Amino acid sequence: MNIAIIGAGNVGATIGRRWRETGHSIRYGVRDPSAEKHQGLTDHAKIMRNREAAEESDIVVLATPWPATEAAISEFRDAIDGKILVDCTNPLEPDLSGLTIGHNDSGGEQVARWAPSARVVKALNTTGSNNMDDPEIDGVRTVMFVAGDDPEARKIVSGLTNDLGFDTIEVGELASARMLEPLAMLWISMAFRFGLGREFGLALLRRT
């Protein structure tokens, strides 16, 4: 698929490289395509401005810091009618001490209000970018949750997270982001406050 990734940081660059390895075509949307820091990505992707990347792609993935997300969307909002917009962001306090939105709303739903004509799917927000690079731990695939109001869009995004190597589970409508964003907060707290570090993931055990 043609995928635009808005924000070429830890998350964006990791999933972009991995998706390229599985055959997808990647465009990064960045603020300054000529910046030196992006040139290392040209081995697997095109680097362009946000709007151009969104226009050229079937799927747009948001991997921006929460405070930058509304402005980023405003650059391509009218270029993504009916397209899938994957929201990987978390509405974090700047010091990572908590979430700025919840529990009767979510960042995912706020993204959908900012991009009302897109099919917004929440995914890739509940684990660290290190696990997006290598989702399998000791032979077990870690879990990825996918939520969105459009079942077809949810299925397509589940295919993409499976391509990365996750054990994907769909968890219903976009409002499930109200649970997924606190789950991300739990992962962050376990990693940085409760002493686990980043090298752990969550997995589902299914009784057969």
Ligand X SMILES: NC(=O)c1ccc[n+]([C@@H]2O[C@H](COP(=O)([O-])OP(=O)(O)OC[C@H]3O[C@@H](n4cnc5c(N)ncnc54)[C@H](OP(=O)(O)O)[C@@H]3O)[C@@H](O)[C@H]2O)c1
| 31 near ligand X, rule: CB under 6 A | yes
- DSSP 8-state symbol, 206: -
Stretch that binds ligand X, among 4-12, 114-122, 138-146, 154-162 (CB under 6 A): 4-12
The answer to whether residue 66 forms part of the interface with ligand X (CB under 6 A) is yes
Tell whether residue 129 is a contact of ligand X (CB under 6 A): yes
Q: What are phi and psi of 136, to 5 degrees?
A: -100, 130
Question: SS3 for 4?
Answer: strand
Give the C-alpha separation, 118 to 109, whole Å: 12
State how far the Cα of 91 lies from the Cα of 58, in Å rounded to an integer: 25
- Would you say 54 or 84 has its CB closer to ligand X? 54
Among residues 187, 181, 185, which one has the least CA distance to residue 97? 185
By beta-carbon distance, which residue lies closest to ligand X? 9
Choice between 71 and 204, CB closer to ligand X: 71
Give whichever of 11 and 101 is closer to ligand X, judged by the CB atom. Answer: 11
Q: Which part of the chain contacts ligand X (CB under 6 A), choosing from 9-17, 136-144, 147-155, 173-181?
A: 9-17
Q: Are 91 and 55 in contact (CB under 8 A)?
A: no
Interface residues toward ligand X, by CB under 6 A: 6-12, 29-31, 50, 63-66, 68, 71-72, 88-90, 92, 125, 128-129
